[in-house]
Every structure is written in C-alpha cells, then in structure tokens.
Amino acid sequence: QVQVVESGGGLVQAGGSLRLSCAASRSIFSINLMGWHRQAPGKQREMVATISSAGRINYDDSVKGRFTISRDNAENTVYLQMDSLKSEGTAVYYCAAVTFLTTYWGHGTQVTVSS
C-alpha cells in the first residue's frame, strides 16, 4: 500500500508557472507508474503526464512542451513542472501511483489559472 499527497497548487496568471509535488509514503522505486491527472469542473478526469519505473515518460498532447514530469526516487517524490500555463489548465490535479494490484490516488491540489 502507498499513500500519496499532492502539494504546490495555487492561483497563477496565464503564462505563469507552478511546480506540483507528489510525496509518497514509501519508496517509489518499484512502483510501476507514477502520474499526474487533472479534473476540470464539469469534465472527466484526464491524464496529464506519467513516468514509469524505467523512466519512460508520456504526456497528453495538450501539455507537451510546457509541462515536465520527473521523479526523485531518493525523496519518494514525483514532480510536475508546469510552464506557460493556460486558463484551461484550471483543475484539481491528482497524483496516482499505479502498482500491479491497484492505483492509489491522492486527494488532489487545486490549480487556478487566471486569464
């Protein structure tokens, strides 16, 4: 079992940057996949970025070139650097830890981008 806690959300103007952090309760070295997802008001949750235990990275097309996901296995933390934020980036951002058995979700952190 693993618990994940997100932090770093807030209010930012369009064009600005934020860095989200996802702290895990245990080592993430062997966790298959760590990822960031977001859910905007009235919309379904969608994948933003994922990073595998082997370091393979995947981004949604809408954030490619602007967002960067990284993981620090020593700190049991995954980061999401978000640059050039757009108003459509307003959402609750969730961290997910995907294991063979199940996916563990955090409670989310609110990101609001003002235009």
Tens digit of each residue's pLDDT (9 = 90 or more) over 47-85 = 999 999 999 999 999 999 999 999 999 999 999 999 999
Work out the percent of the chain whose per-residue pLDDT is above 90: 93
The answer to whether 80 and 19 are in contact (CB under 8 A) is yes
Q: Kindly report the average pLDDT of the chain as a whole number.
A: 96
The pLDDT score that the predictor gives to residue 23 is: 97
Residue pointed to by tokens 């103007």:
13
The pLDDT score that the predictor gives to residue 30 is: 85
Tens digit of each residue's pLDDT (9 = 90 or more) over 29-48 = 889 999 999 999 999 999 99
Q: Which amino acid is at 15?
A: G
Q: In whole angstroms, what is the distance from residue 32 CA to residue 86 CA?
A: 30
The pLDDT score that the predictor gives to residue 19 is: 98
